[in-house]
Structure 1
Amino acid sequence: MFATKSICLLGLLGLVTGAAVPNNDGFPMPNKDQQVTLAKQAGGKLPNVALPKKLGSGSTTAFQLIAFNELFETAYFDSLLQNITNGVQGYEADNKEELIKIFSTQEELHALAAQTALMAANASFVPSACKYMFPTTNLTQAVNIAETFTAVVLGALQGANVLFAKENVPVPIQLISSVIGQEGEQNGYYRTVLKEVPSESPFLTAVPAAFAFSALQMFIVPGSCPYPLSNIDLPIFPPMMVNGQAVAALEAKDQKLSFSADLGKSEQAKKYVGGNGKDLFLTYTTGQQKPISLEISNVKWESGMISFDADFPVSENVMNGFSHAALTTGNVFELADDVTNSTLAGPGIIQVRDGVTTSMDSRAVEASECI
């Protein structure tokens, strides 16, 4: 079954267009007094160690992606804080305002740190905020989505440290490692709220930078960024739905999953459009395992839209928590980053939940229109 509207909206529930960023505390350009206030609210100050005066191309892209993401996170938590503070229906919560405010301020400092690192190295491009749309209508959904995008970020920051190491810039490795720990603490809290084990698994899932950048597009109002997205040197892949959802919440059992993606505008996919899918594979990445590629079945095309099925081998591979999937032209990969070179669509976001199973259901937006 094809879901054209769900692809264009990525399964958004209760579309909310957020302000670019909060500005009542001086962010994104706080003065010295405002920086002191931010530090007190966040529980710590911005780093004052000497930053590299030069970054390689990979490190530059890594910091640009980090800044791009942190600006989104800042807007997300500010919007959530406003919903809670204003008593919006579905967001009723006792004693949560101060906690969310701390999270929001900590993300502001993350964004400022990434932007500062780029400016210290005289990078030609430093991301600023876009406008955002947030796919939630209640607090449980909001926490669920926060836990998911934080899992994506935790996977992408692993790769950032690899790039810093390759380009011999050690200071960012320590800086980003401290952020990984902080984001992990946050996610443990979200998982507790969702009645999940705070620590998802012993080794968190790696996420290629291109997959993180592609996944973030579901939250960006198209055309709202004050710069071309190509300023960040990463591809944006066509999104892929899992069981009709942008984020699929699944039971921990072996099962057949359905996938769909619009490949009509993909140059890389042209030779495969209309085919039987025999040269295509569904590739999962979970934990720190080698990517797992499987044959696809029940392939159907409607113009450039593809739908297909693939097994979800959760028992053999112990895929607890967050995993991601991609439609690929290859099936042998050593590392998660290798998958992007063969990707036609993705990432499909998968959460194996033992407790709450709130998901972003494409059917909830049938009456909505694309922006």
Structure 2
Amino acid sequence: MRAACVITTLLSSFALAHPSKPRTSNDGYPNPTMEQLKDISRRADGTLSNAPPPPKLGESSKTAFQALAFGEEFEQAYFSSLLQNVTNGVPGYRHHGRFTKAELVKVLETVVAQEELHAINAINVLKHFNVPAPMPCKYHFPMNNIEDAFALAESFTMLVVGTLQDVSQTLAQNGDNGVVRAIASVIGQEGEQGGFYRTLLGRVPSEKPFLTTSVGAFAFFLHLQHDGSMGLDVKPKDQYLTFTADISAAGGAEKFLGGNGKGLYLTYFSGQLLPISEPITNVKWNKGRITFDAFFPFTENVMKGLSVAALTTSNNLTAPGMVPGATIAAPAVIQVNEKL
């Protein structure tokens, strides 16, 4: 018997960002003057590193920094929007039982400034090596209350932690040790944020003993997914989940279009486990849009907290870095959490 399912959307791995013209905030972000940068640093409770730029950066390391900059730009935009809603007393954002409005405003002002420094740091590295930095996109945030807003924040913050693991792995493989210390410090800072958001949501602050990994390729597309499906809670039990994705334009998907799903798998990242692949079932089509079920093996793998899923053409994936090459749609973000 199948448990109740949850609809989760996967984005095509060939989805495109929609860049907007760079907008300068009141503090000059993302291109502040030296005086504006000092003001950002005061609000962030710290400064950029004054260490010299790394002597070299491999090509895949440069791509990793582009993904990092893209994610940090999203976070800055999201928390700026959340800060504005809390500050202006927008309905649904007027209070939170654990903290006063003044306390939340202080926290969010600090987080916004810290995310600005994260983004500026990544952009500066790219500029140093004459690599184009991704432009901020136009974002649509569907949340209409503070509880859901922090739930979404916790989801993508922990996804950033997973992405930074992949960035670190790429740097190590390329021998680009000059920026590893800075990346490690950002991982810790994002983890602090995640623990705070989990506390706000009444969850155990520390999510897992080993936080879920991800891959940089997914970061570009995660931040375009704001239909409300990201961050939904799934019950802590074995069950089948239902997913949907438009794969009409995805490379390598042609031979699967209209088929029964044979040869397609849902592959999960959970903690530091090797990729977990489950065959898809109950396949339905609406032109190029596929809807299917896949087993969520919670019990065997203790899949509490964040899991990240991809629709793949292989189930023989023995390392996270192998998953993007076999992916035709991703990512889906799955959260399994219980209140204290």
Is this a same-fold pair by TM over 0.5? Answer: yes
Matched, 1:106 2:108: no
Q: How does 1:1-371 map to 2 (within 5 A)?
A: 23-93=25-95, 94-95=101-102, 96-123=104-131, 125-218=132-225, 245-355=229-339
> Residue 82 of structure 2: SS of its match in structure 1?
helix
Quick one: which amino acid aligns to residue 212 of structure 1?
A
Q: Is the 8 A contact 1:70 1:111 kept in 2?
A: yes
Aligned in 2, Cα 1:88/1:63: closer, same or farther, shift over 3 Å? same
Q: Is the 8 A contact 2:21 2:136 kept in 1?
A: no
Deviation (angstroms), 1:128 = 2.7
Distance 1:88 1:19 in 2: 27
- Residues 305-337 of structure 1 show CA distances to partners (whole Å, capped at 9, x for unaligned) of 211111111011000100011111110111112
Q: Is the 8 A contact 1:41 1:105 kept in 2?
A: yes
Distance 2:271 2:205 in 1: 16
Aligned in 2, Cα 1:22/1:254: closer, same or farther, shift over 3 Å? farther
Aligned residues with identical type, % of pairs: 46
- Residues 70-94 of structure 1 show CA distances to partners (whole Å, capped at 9, x for unaligned) of 1111111111111111111111132
Q: Is the 8 A contact 1:21 1:74 kept in 2?
A: no
TM-score (normalizing by structure 1): 0.82
Deviation (angstroms), 1:129 = 1.8
> Residue 225 of structure 2: SS of its match in structure 1?
helix
Q: Which runs of 5+ in 2 are unaligned?
A: 1-8, 12-19, 96-100
Please give the root-mean-square deviation of Cα atoms over the aligned residues, in Å: 2.0
- Residues 169-188 of structure 1 show CA distances to partners (whole Å, capped at 9, x for unaligned) of 21211010000000000110
Q: Is the 8 A contact 2:152 2:230 kept in 1?
A: no
Q: Which runs of 5+ in 1 are unaligned?
A: 1-5, 9-17, 220-240, 357-371
Distance 2:270 2:22 in 1: 33
- Residues 206-250 of structure 1 show CA distances to partners (whole Å, capped at 9, x for unaligned) of 11111121211225xxxxxxxxxxxxxxxxxxxxx9xx9344310
> Residue 26 of structure 2: SS of its match in structure 1?
coil
Distance 1:186 1:305 in 2: 36
Q: Is the 8 A contact 2:92 2:144 kept in 1?
A: yes
Deviation (angstroms), 1:101 = 0.4
Equivalent residue, structure 1, for 2:15: none
Distance 2:327 2:130 in 1: 32
Equivalent residue, structure 1, for 2:98: none
Distance 1:202 1:46 in 2: 29
Deviation (angstroms), 1:21 = 5.2
Deviation (angstroms), 1:270 = 0.9
Q: Is the 8 A contact 1:246 1:349 kept in 2?
A: yes
Distance 2:255 2:249 in 1: 12
Distance 2:10 2:278 in 1: 23
Quick one: which amino acid aligns to residue 168 of structure 2?
N
Quick one: which amino acid aligns to residue 201 of structure 1?
K
Distance 1:199 1:186 in 2: 11
Distance 1:87 1:21 in 2: 24
Distance 2:316 2:87 in 1: 50
Q: Is the 8 A contact 2:312 2:327 kept in 1?
A: yes
Distance 1:163 1:61 in 2: 10
